[in-house]
Structure 1
C-alpha cells in the first residue's frame, strides 16, 4: 500500500465518521428531547433515565447504520475527493502521471468495504436485536401491548386477541380462534378470556406447542368424543397440573371449560408488527414466504428480499454516478459540484422509494421494482464514469 493510498483511506475514514456522527448525533438529540417524557414513564431518577436512553440509542445504531450507510458512504467519497481537489492534490498527481481512476481507487475499495459491513449488520446484528428495535420509547419490554394482527396457521385457523402480556406469553381479556369448516364440517369459533402459549420446550407442561385457553367456549359446541379424537386440533384439558398458572385473579377463570389448541403459531407471531420483515435476516424473509402465520403479504416480503440483494450494488451505483460530478467539474466551483451530487442522491433514493411503493400495490413485480433503479441509474453511472478526465 502506497503512502497516497493510505492517505486516501484515512481521509475516507475521517469523512465517514464525521458525516455519521453529524447525522446520527443530530437525530439522537432531537429524538431524545422530543420523547424524554416517554422515557420518564419507565424510569425512576435521572441516573436511570440516562442509562435507559443510552441503551435505547446504542441498540439503534445498527438500524441507523443500515438506513444511512449507503448515502453516508457516498458523501464520504465526495468529501474525500473534494478535499483532494481543494488542496490541489489531484492536479499534482495528474502532473506526476497518476490517472484519476488510480488515485480514487482507495475510495472505491472503502465504499465496497462499507457495503460488506452493511450486509453483515443486516444479517447478523439487526435480527439479533429485532425485538428491541421495534419497541417504542416508553416500552421497557415487559409492559402489556395490543395485539394488532390476526394471523393464521397452515391449516387455515385464524387467531385474534386484544391485549398481550409479554412476560408470561399470555393473551389477556379475549382470545379467539376461528376454525374453518373443512376441519369439523362447519365453521366454529373458540373464545376464551385468557390464553397462554406453551412452547415445544416447556419443561413441565403435559401438552406442548399450542395455546392453553382458559374460560373457553366453542360455538357451535363440540362433543367430548370429538375433542378426545387423537387427531383433533382442539383438546379438552381436565387436569391443569404442569401448565403455567393463570395471569391475574384465578377466581375469574375457574370453573369454566379449558381447551388446548395444537398449533405452531407462537406468541411472537401474535404480537408481531407488520414491519417485522425489515428487521429479519434473509433466512427469516424466505421462511416468511412459506409461513402463513407471518400475517404479511408475500409481495412485501418479496420486495424486501430483492431489495436486500440489490442494496450493495445500488449503493455502489450511487457512488459511481455521483463521483463523476465532482471529478469532472474542473471548470465549476467544488461546492456546486457537491450540491449537484447531493441532488443526484435525492433523485436516486426517491426513484427507489416510488418503485417499492408501486410494487407494494402490485403495479410492478417485486423483482422489477428492485432491479429497475439499477437498470436506469446503472446506465447513467456508466455514461458518467466514462467522461471522467484522466
Structure 2
C-alpha cells in the first residue's frame, strides 16, 4: 500500500464514520427527545442516564449500521472522490498516469470489508439483541406482557394460544393448548396459569413446562401419551421430574414464533431462519422463504449497488457534487424498486418462486455492476 493509498483510505473511512455518526446522532436525538422522561427515570435507579442510553440505543446503532451501511459507503465514495477532485488531487494523480480504477482500489476494497463486517453483525451480533430491539424505553428493566399470536403445531396436532407472552422470559401467560390429535383422557383442551419454553435436555425434548393446570382437573392421574414413536404430553403420573399440576408439552413451536410483533423474525441468524423454514411443525409463508434467500444473496447484491455508483463517481462531464448525489439517490431508488418488486412477487407467489424472487435483482444488476467495474479500469 502506497502513501496515496493510505491517504485516500483514511479520507474514505473518516467520511464513512462521520456519515454514520451523523445519521445515528439524529436518530438518538429525536428519539430521546420524545422518551426523555422514561430514560431519566430509568437512569435514577440504574447507574445514570448515560449508561441507560448506551444499553438502549447501542443495539439500535448496530441495527442502523445493518440498514444503512451500504448506502453510507456509496455516499462516502461520492464525497471522497468529490473532495479529491475539488482540491485538484485527483487531477494531479491522473496526470501521473494512474488510472481511476487504481485510485478507487483502496475504497473498493474497504467497501467490501465493510460489507463483510455487516454480515458478521447481522449473523452473530444482532440476533442476540432482537428482544432489546423490540422493547420500549419504559421496558428496559421491567418486562411487560406483549400480544400473542396463536400458532398451530401441524406435526403434533396442537394449537398454542394464550392471553399474552413475555418475549425475553419466553413465558406464556394463561396459555391454552387445543389438542387436535387423539390424546386419551386429556380431552380437547389444556388450560393453565403459565407455560415456560425450554430447550431439549436429556430428560425431554424442546417444548413447554405448563404450570398450575386448570383443565383437565385430574391431570396428575393421566399417564403420559403421544404417538407410537414418541411422547408428546408428559405428566406427573409417570415422570418424577414434573411437579403436581404440571405437565410438559413437546413441540418445536418456540416462543419467538408466538410473538405478534414478527419484525424480530428478520433479526434471527441465517441458520435459525433456515431451521424455521425446514421445521415441518410450522407453516412457512412464501415471504419467509424469500427472506431466507435474500439473506444469502444480500452481500453480493450490496456490493453490486456500490459498483453501480462508479459511473457517477468517474465521469468526463465533471458534474457538480450535488448533481452526483441526486443521481446516486436515483440509482439507489431504482435498485430498491427492483428488489421490492421482485420480493413482492415472490412473497405473493405470483410469477416468481421465492428463491428466484431473491436472485432476480442480482441476476439483473450483477452483470451491469461488473461491466461498470471493468470500464473504470481503462478510464
State whether TM-score is above 0.5.
yes
Residues in 2 aligned to 1:371 and 1:357: alpha-carbon distance in whole angstroms: 13
Unaligned residue ranges in structure 2 (runs of 5+): none
Aligned pairs for 1:285-300 within 5 A: 285-292=273-280, 297-300=284-287
SS for the counterpart of 1:149 is: coil
User: Could you tell which deviates more after superposition, 115-124 or 86-95?
Assistant: 86-95
Report the counterpart of residue 162 of structure 2 in structure 1.
161
Residues in 2 aligned to 1:196 and 1:374: alpha-carbon distance in whole angstroms: 43
Report the counterpart of residue 210 of structure 2 in structure 1.
212
Q: Kindly state the Cα deviation for residue 287 of structure 1 after the two structures are TM-superposed.
A: 0.8
Aligned pairs for 1:1-390 within 5 A: 1-39=1-39, 42=42, 44=44, 48-140=48-140, 142-153=142-153, 154-165=155-166, 170-172=171-173, 174-181=174-181, 188-197=188-197, 200=200, 209-218=207-216, 227=223, 233-237=232-236, 259-271=247-259, 273-292=261-280, 297-363=284-350, 364-385=352-373, 387-388=375-376, 390=379
Q: Are the equivalent residues in 1 in contact too, given 2:286–2:346 (CA < 8 A)?
A: yes
Structure 2-normalised TM-score? 0.84
Q: Kindly state the Cα deviation for residue 230 of structure 1 after the two structures are TM-superposed.
A: 8.0
Q: Kindly state the Cα deviation for residue 196 of structure 1 after the two structures are TM-superposed.
A: 4.0
Q: Are the equivalent residues in 2 in contact too, given 1:157–1:180 (CA < 8 A)?
A: yes
Q: Are the equivalent residues in 2 in contact too, given 1:191–1:216 (CA < 8 A)?
A: yes
| Aligned CA-pair RMSD | 3.5
Q: Are the equivalent residues in 1 in contact too, given 2:156–2:181 (CA < 8 A)?
A: no
Residues in 1 aligned to 2:76 and 2:206: alpha-carbon distance in whole angstroms: 53
SS for the counterpart of 1:164 is: strand
Residues in 1 aligned to 2:268 and 2:164: alpha-carbon distance in whole angstroms: 24
Residues in 1 aligned to 2:332 and 2:206: alpha-carbon distance in whole angstroms: 52
Q: Are the equivalent residues in 2 in contact too, given 1:178–1:188 (CA < 8 A)?
A: yes
Q: Kindly state the Cα deviation for residue 48 of structure 1 after the two structures are TM-superposed.
A: 3.6
| Distance of aligned partners of 1:126 and 1:169 in 2 relative to their CA distance in 1, 3 Å threshold | closer
SS for the counterpart of 2:249 is: strand
Residues in 2 aligned to 1:309 and 1:13: alpha-carbon distance in whole angstroms: 26
1:196-246 deviations in whole A, cap 9, x for unaligned? 4465559xx999953324242249x99956x455866335436999768xx
Q: Are the equivalent residues in 2 in contact too, given 1:210–1:265 (CA < 8 A)?
A: no
Residues in 1 aligned to 2:194 and 2:131: alpha-carbon distance in whole angstroms: 24
Q: How many residues align?
A: 373
Q: Are the equivalent residues in 2 in contact too, given 1:321–1:380 (CA < 8 A)?
A: yes
Q: Kindly state the Cα deviation for residue 186 of structure 1 after the two structures are TM-superposed.
A: 11
Unaligned residue ranges in structure 1 (runs of 5+): 245-253
